[in-house]
Amino acid sequence: MDISVEFSVDGKIADGVTVYVREERGIVRELWPTAIALEDGRSFQLLPTVRVLISGRLGEREAVQPGSSVIVRINPVTREVTEILVL
């Protein structure tokens, strides 16, 4: 699923600022400091500042383990993961 988000500044839409996010769902096969691999063979680069969310709350990166069901939010331009949601 692709999501388009427009940022607002003081209640106004900021000129020309649009962020696109793609979501991919899967089961974690491996997690390295710079990448994540899903069981279906897809792998993605991780931003150094990747956020991990558990039940909507900020969590620890260690919560992402092999076998975890996740949604990864990806910048489709750079293909880097910005957030990992642990389901």
CATH code for the domain in which residue 81 is found: 2.40.50
Residue 37 in domain: yes
Q: Are strands 80-86 and 43-54 parallel, antiparallel or unpaired?
A: parallel
Q: Please give the pLDDT value at position 79.
A: 82
Number of domains forming the structure of the chain = 1
- Closest to 42 measured CA to CA, from 61, 22, 27, 57: 27
- Higher-confidence residue of 86 and 8: namely 86
* Model confidence pLDDT, tens digit, residues 25-69: 999 999 999 999 999 999 999 988 899 999 889 999 999 999 999
Residue 80 in domain: yes
Largest CA distance in the chain: 43
Q: Tell me the residue range of the domain where 76 lies.
A: 22-86
